[in-house]
Chains A and B, each alone.
Chain A
Amino acid sequence: MSDLGLTEEQIQRYSRHILLAEVGGEGQQELLASSALVVGAGGLGSPALLYLAAAGVGRLGVADGGIVELSNLQRQIIHGTSDVGRNKVLSAEAAITEINPDCQVEVFHERLITKNISQVIRGYDVVLDGSDNFPTRFLVNDCCWFEKIPLVSAAVLRFEGQLMTVLPGEGNPCYRCFIPEPPPPGLVPSCQEAGVLGAVVGVIGTLQAVEALKILLGIGTIMSHHLVVYDAIQCQFARLKRAPDPACPLCGATRTITELVEYDFTCTTDMERGENGEGITSGA
């Protein structure tokens, strides 16, 4: 052990972090002593997990109930061709361990629901949401709010990405301040028609990792009062202001949500709804 409290091998491994004034040996030790939970080992979770592992976050949780499909590999870069058919969390665990044995991995091969989410989330320093549906997003937001854990939430559709951080506590807007309830089913358009460019998910998942590392290190400006919108076609980043919504059902003055609530999974297709549906759909 050196004066930095790091082994010789760790000093070499993390030397490019240690060189940064904002990180240094102390910051690196903080990362090694910190924990992060990634919800969804998919398009966003893949790059996020890879970078958090490489950065030396000491304890990494991965929650995903799915298995690796061939159609995932275009964007879910933590998984490889030989992983098809395997549990996503186990495939991710193998990749993380290969990158950095300093990382202790905890896997949750289950869909997060009201019954299990609190036990899974509790004790993590930060949560990254890269899930693929609104019910999970609302559940993760609410649970992080109740458990007072910072949340980095992101989503991607076609060529567009969105990212925001929710810091629990008065004065900070939550995810429900942005969208209070899941959109009505009729306005959820075709998930088949909505593709996504893999690399765009990579950009946003990597941004999530950066944001999480900043939170763990206590540095920089956190996107707790902004929504970042990335338009890959124009190569444009917009940073739109967010503020607490006094009418928010979770954190507003007249809050109505005081415990975890579960929403149904809904997804309709354009086939029966007509062609030009606006709305909210899938991609990551």
Chain B
Amino acid sequence: MSITVRAGAALKSLLGGSQEVQIDGTTIGEVVERLTIRERLCDDTGKLRRHFNIHVNDGEDIRLLQGLDTPVRDGDTVTILSAIAGGADVARKLWLTFSQELVDKPLIWEVAQKFQVVTNIRQASVSKDVGIVGLELSGEEDEVRRAIDFFLQAGVSVEPVERDVME
């Protein structure tokens, strides 16, 4: 029982980086189990997470069939998809360090006024001597870059946040 499993572009990592793998199984549930990605596709109750869609051959989403119990046969192609949205917005998390002479300047406000970015302070420690701010900047890539350049030119030290610091 060899089933071809295909994943959409947004899901390649589910299949270990490849876009197509061969797997055995008689139901979608078995196939998903053998992909060892069940916990990513399904929630705690074992239901398929709602932003994924699975189709057998050119058929309907399995949700409208028998869900994970939907049978598959030798030679079937199973497609796992998620919706994609497009766009090139980015979000950067940054540590900004304001020195004593900059600490009372409203630079984050200025950035929000001057550039089409959303500023979101995630963490901050500000005294009269120094200000350290964990800031998330989101918007179009070029706009975010210009906002960062503005901070740098103003003399603020800007460092990317290492993972998990603010979460």
> Which residues in A have some Cβ–Cβ distance to B below 8 Å?
40, 42-44, 66-67, 69-72, 130-134, 137, 155-160, 162, 178-181, 183-184, 187, 189, 191-192, 194, 227, 229, 231, 233-234, 238-243, 245, 265, 267-269, 271-274, 276-284
The count of A-to-B residue pairs whose CB atoms sit within 8 angstroms is 168
Q: Which residue of B lies closest to A134 (CB)?
A: B85
Q: Are the CB atoms of B86 and A43 closer together than 8 Å?
A: yes
9 contacts between A and B (CB under 8 A): A67-B116, A132-B87, A156-B86, A183-B82, A243-B60, A272-B166, A277-B13, A281-B10, A282-B88
Q: Are the CB atoms of A66 and B140 closer together than 8 Å?
A: yes
Q: Are the CB atoms of B10 and A278 closer together than 8 Å?
A: yes
Size range of the chain B interface in the assembly = 35 or more
Q: Are the CB atoms of B13 and A133 closer together than 8 Å?
A: no
Q: A66-B140, A131-B86, A283-B86 are in contact. Are A267 and B163 (CB under 8 A)?
A: no
Known: A134-B85, A157-B8, A240-B81. 20 other contacts (CB 8 A): A40-B86, A42-B87, A69-B142, A72-B88, A132-B89, A155-B85, A162-B8, A179-B82, A183-B83, A229-B8, A240-B58, A240-B79, A241-B59, A265-B138, A267-B138, A269-B90, A272-B164, A272-B166, A278-B13, A281-B85
Residues of A within 8 A of B89 (CB): 132-133, 191, 265, 267, 282
A69 to B115 Cα, complex, angstroms: 13
Q: Are the CB atoms of B50 and A162 closer together than 8 Å?
A: no
A134 to B84 Cα, complex, angstroms: 8
Q: Are the CB atoms of A191 and B91 closer together than 8 Å?
A: yes
A54 to B78 Cα, complex, angstroms: 39
Q: Are the CB atoms of B10 and A280 closer together than 8 Å?
A: yes
A253 to B118 Cα, complex, angstroms: 38
> Which residues in B have some Cβ–Cβ distance to A below 8 Å?
8-11, 13-14, 19, 40, 50-51, 53, 55, 58-61, 63-64, 79, 81-93, 116, 118, 138, 140-143, 160-167
Q: Are the CB atoms of A280 and B9 closer together than 8 Å?
A: no
Q: Are the CB atoms of A238 and B13 closer together than 8 Å?
A: no
Contact of B91 among A70, A132, A268 (CB under 8 A): A268
Task: State the main secondary structure of chain B at its contact with A.
Answer: mixed
Q: A132-B85, A271-B163, A272-B166 are in contact. Are A279 and B60 (CB under 8 A)?
A: no
Q: Are the CB atoms of A191 and B90 closer together than 8 Å?
A: yes
Q: Are the CB atoms of A160 and B84 closer together than 8 Å?
A: yes
With most chain A CB atoms within 10 A of its CB, the pick from B64, B86, B118 is B86
In angstroms, how far is the closest chain B Cβ from the Cβ of A132?
2
A162 to B86 Cα, complex, angstroms: 10
Q: Are the CB atoms of A133 and B82 closer together than 8 Å?
A: no
A231 to B51 Cα, complex, angstroms: 20
Q: Which residue of B lies closest to A136 (CB)?
A: B85
Q: Are the CB atoms of B79 and A284 closer together than 8 Å?
A: no
Residues of A within 8 A of B13 (CB): 276-278
Residues of B within 8 A of A194 (CB): 10
Residues of B within 8 A of A281 (CB): 10, 84-85
Residues of A within 8 A of B93 (CB): 269, 271-272
Residues of B within 8 A of A278 (CB): 10-11, 13-14, 40, 82
